[in-house]
Amino acid sequence: MGDENGREDDHSEKPEGDRTEPGTDAGESTVGDLSLDRFHDALEAEERPVATASEVARRLGTTQAAARDALATLVERGSVERLDVESDPVVFYPSEWGRLASRERVVTFPKRREIVVDRPTQYTRAQLSQFARLVDTTGTDPGTRGYLYRIRPEDVWAAPFDDADALIGSLRSVLPRRFAELEEWVRDQWRRANRFRLYTHEDDYVVLEAASESLLGNVAEQHLADDHLRAPISETEAWVNEAAVAAVKRALYDAGYPVQDDRDLDTGDPVDIDLTTDLREYQETWVETFLESRSGVYVGPPGSGKTVAAIATIAAVGGETLILVPSRELAGQWREELLAHSTVDPADIGEYHGGQKEIRPITIATYQIAGMDRHRGLFDSRRWGLICFDEAHHITAPVYSRAAELQAKHRLGLSATPVRETGSEEEIYTLIGQPIGADWDALFEAGFVQEPEVEIRYVPWRDELARNEYASADGRERRRLAAENPAKVEEVRYLLAAHRGKKALVFIEYLDHGEALADALDAPFVSGETPHHERAELFRRFHEEGTEVDVLVVSRVGDEGIDLPNAELAVVASGLGGSRRQGSQRAGRTMRPEGTALVYVLATRGSSEEEFAQRQMRHLARKGVRVRETNVAE
């Protein structure tokens, strides 16, 4: 029997001693030796991650005094923490979700659409990754962690199922019981994802079709601008201004109605290219998923092979291709990757940027050049079958947004982490396509990419003059002084010595700091001012075994847009005011198919760097990366 919230009776999972009826003497004696399982039952019934002693007593059918004593015992054991808060006298919560039980346990908070899983099996994580977002992890070792998932509207919209019943079936397969309210919300979101679609009319113009007359009349007319639609065709269809397709999709997405894009997309003039590299199983799945929907964003950590999967996609589409990149350095590296992994004729590859301007069957251009009016005609004159947006998070930046207007093509995005601090990752998926890819955590566990070990090291002020200068400064100057804390030089030396023989990248934010650190370490410094040929030579020597270049000090130029050789060790000495995505990029520089991967983040103790470091590393923790913290001795 289920209760009014759709919960089914769960007594069958409990041992014989826990089957006491609520409110009996035996029940009170059982609570006296409160188990973590029963405390977790109380939290689940409360649908909160914390509970007061009175709430635990009510849920377990005992007195408040008995519950308080039992919780105190759990606190003494270190299994439960207690916290004084303003709204409640004292609340209790598990010390660590990852150690709550020896078996997998799933706790659902349906009103918040959150799911906490202790010791999840690979099956559970695989199912959840299809319709929920991994928000956070706790614990240190794989297999003992707690995982927090949240189901968002866009997760339901992008779920890879044929219908809502299949999605609900996957949801039920991992939850301990049915939650009618949650299921109805999921069904409603699924219906929203199939209410509008774009298709190509037989007379070759674009039509917006709504599932009902009221949708077209109310939702579309309320949220679309006057120039988005040319004229009505029927009660449920309207002729779309083709130049406004991107704006229509964006506006309806913001209104909570993602548009199904069924237009006849250009395939482009044929190009002769075949893949010469074997794909991993998950890469094959990425490509197959893309070909079915004809748009999408490959999301995966550095080292997961997004570029190779993109080359396989180019070969599968078989049409002329425009590849957009954030820098000319990355354009050159794309040329090298194409030649290394495919049969393409070198003469069929062109680069279009500040250094050279060639339009070829496969053209690699920078976002900025492609968006300029004086170059736009050249790109529009070619019949591209595929547009590939590398570092796809750039697409929402104003300077690059013109590239998003290329909606009539197959659209492929690549990104290790599409997060922007503006929270506009949904816009990336609207303009390019839905996310395609495995959770970072799944790739770590499968062994395709080694999980980096990340440690935040809080470095004290050891120089009294520097400490006083920081105390008297404010704003941007204070941030710079914290970044350039002289004690970090000694700490970087210590870390390099502790990992002697490992190839190391040291990241900095300020050029003066980089030059000083490079001098102290007797290591090369690579910045945006380093000539392209010199930079390429340093990276080549760093990459080769047995060379004298084992350490590189790198400015923000190393965060993206160039293919830094993967290192065994990364030290983020400064630059903690950057974005969550930047933290992921830097951690990603150590990811490799085999071997250890170490990332140290140095933050000046007592400064804003502490908060910045924790924010960036929380983003990594949500992807399944272990993060620990250490206070460096005075």
Q: What are phi and psi of 148, to 5 degrees?
A: -110, 120
Residue 96 has a pLDDT of 58
Residue 501 has a pLDDT of 82
Exposure on the CB side of residue 409, measured as CA atoms within 13 A: 28
**CB neighbour list of residue 107: distance below 8 Å, 6 or more residues apart:** 40, 43, 44, 115, 116, 117, 118
Q: What are phi and psi of 115, to 5 degrees?
A: -135, 125
Domain over 11-188 is classified CATH 1.10.10.10: yes
- 133-138: strand order across its sheet: 105-109, 114-118, 146-150, 133-138
Could you count the other beta carbons within 10 Å of the beta carbon of residue 222? 9
To the question of pTM greater than 0.85 for the whole model, the response is no
To the nearest 10 degrees (0 to 180), the angle between helices 25-32 and 64-77 is 20
Could you count the other beta carbons within 10 Å of the beta carbon of residue 457? 21
H or E element: which one contains 336? helix 328-341
Domain residue limits, the chain: 11-188, 195-262, 281-440, 450-631
Residue 28 has a pLDDT of 35
Could you count the other beta carbons within 10 Å of the beta carbon of residue 279? 16
Residue 449 has a pLDDT of 54
Residue 559 has a pLDDT of 43
Output the six-digit token pair for 245. 């397709």
For residues 565 and 472, is the Cβ–Cβ distance under 8 A? Answer: no
- Class of the CATH domain delimited by 450-631: alpha beta
Residue 100 has a pLDDT of 41
Q: Do the two domains 11-188 and 450-631 of this chain adopt the same fold?
A: no
What span, in angstroms and rounded, lies between the C-alpha atoms of 484 and 489?
9
| Type of residue numbered 440 | W
- In 497-622, which ranges are E strands? 504-507, 525-526, 551-554, 569-572, 598-604
CA distances from 591 to 292, 466, 552 (A): 30, 35, 17
For residues 629 and 484, is the Cβ–Cβ distance under 8 A? Answer: no
Render 146-202 in DSSP notation, one character per residue: EEEEE--HHHHHT---SSHHHHHHHHHHHSSS--HHHHHHHHHHHHHTTSEEEEE-T
Per-residue pLDDT reduced to its tens digit, 535-559:
778 888 887 776 778 898 988 654 4
Q: What is the mean pLDDT of each run of 10 residues along the chain (634 residues)?
A: 37 34 36 74 75 84 84 84 60 60 76 87 76 72 68 84 88 90 93 86 90 86 88 91 84 85 80 92 88 85 84 93 87 92 95 85 86 68 84 64 63 70 57 73 55 81 88 85 91 91 85 90 86 79 78 69 61 63 42 58 86 67 68 83
Q: Domain 281-440: what homologous superfamily?
A: P-loop containing nucleotide triphosphate hydrolases (3.40.50.300)
What span, in angstroms and rounded, lies between the C-alpha atoms of 273 and 233?
42
Residue 209 has a pLDDT of 92
Tell me whether residue 150 is exposed, middle or buried, using C-beta atoms within 10 angstroms of its C-beta: 0 to 12, 13 to 18, 19 or more: middle
What span, in angstroms and rounded, lies between the C-alpha atoms of 601 and 457?
6
Residue 13 has a pLDDT of 36
Could you count the other beta carbons within 10 Å of the beta carbon of residue 557? 17
What span, in angstroms and rounded, lies between the C-alpha atoms of 172 and 131?
12
Cα dihedral 609, 611, 616, 620, rounded to 10, equals 130
| Type of residue numbered 168 | I
Question: Could you say which DSSP state residue 342 is in?
Answer: B
What span, in angstroms and rounded, lies between the C-alpha atoms of 69 and 53?
9
Distance of CA 98 to the CA centre of its chain: 22
Residue 450 has a pLDDT of 55
